Structure 1
Amino acid sequence: MKNDIDLLKKQLKGNIQKLIDSGDLKDARQLIDQYKDIDSDDAEAYSMDAVILIMENKFDEAEEVLREGLDIDENNFDLNYNFGYVYKQNQNFEEALWYYKKALDNCSNKNMVSDIDKIIRKIKSEHNISAIVDKKKIVFLIRVMTSLYGI
């Protein structure tokens, strides 16, 4: 039974991807909404949803969907890569770098590793950014300062 459901979900996601690839975003949107009603904890579905929104130039909405997906799986390659892309399009290059780096850390495809590395180097050189700020260290520092000094 579970295998049947998993197979159906895989087929449905395959159909959604075909619709996205063919540019049929309206039908892809309908299917992705139905899919997320069935399985709201599938990070890949959030990534596909975000891709649709990105293709529609709805970057703010894509950002919301990507955040929801990262709440499910913060290390998901596609979600982090797409977030990097959204921030790059919005010219928030420090955030773009952070998400591209996170995608790079979770990438198993050698060709993509090379491509992401090129994107990171290009953003750094074109926008004079020397380092990628580690958000986790900043949050930790703020928590320490708050507890020590009541800030």
Structure 2
Amino acid sequence: VKEKFSFLRRRHTDTALASKDGKPLKPTPEVALSWSTSFDTLLQDKYGLELFRDFLQSEFSEENIEFWIACEQYKNLKSSKLNAQAQKIYTDFVAIQAPREINLSSKTREATAGLVGSPNRHTFETAQRRIQALMEKDSYPRFLQADVYQDLLGDQKAHFKLNFT
């Protein structure tokens, strides 16, 4: 699990997405175009996820994707580590006045707080779904129109504009 998401600990796209010889591992325009088919497709692609994360960072809203990633990692932890990590995720993202507080309804926040006391792999499921829906509705469309994404499309840009607009 650590290996699966270790690339996400890196902060800058240029270094995070470079091969051993330093050359960037950019996706093909066709792969980049596939990200426009669904938000899930973007989230499942390593380069796409990292690029989306950098985009959110440029908009000062990276706490949403950071929370989403933390939840994905949490689901794959050994049972013995769930309690400590649940507390960390709650303290970092869910608690009122958390350092990277995410935008949740009071109902979702309270329900999640109640689950943290006896955590399991589903503790953050509702909160994660809400944040994913928020990103899909709000940030994802802006990402698809952003220069950083449009530049990856290359010759596929015309095809994208015809199908997206």
What's the TM-score once normalised by structure 1's chain length?
0.32
What's the TM-score once normalised by structure 2's chain length?
0.30
Larger RCO (CA within 8 A; separation ≥ 6): 2
Q: Based on CA coordinates, which of the two structures has the bigger radius of gyration?
A: 1
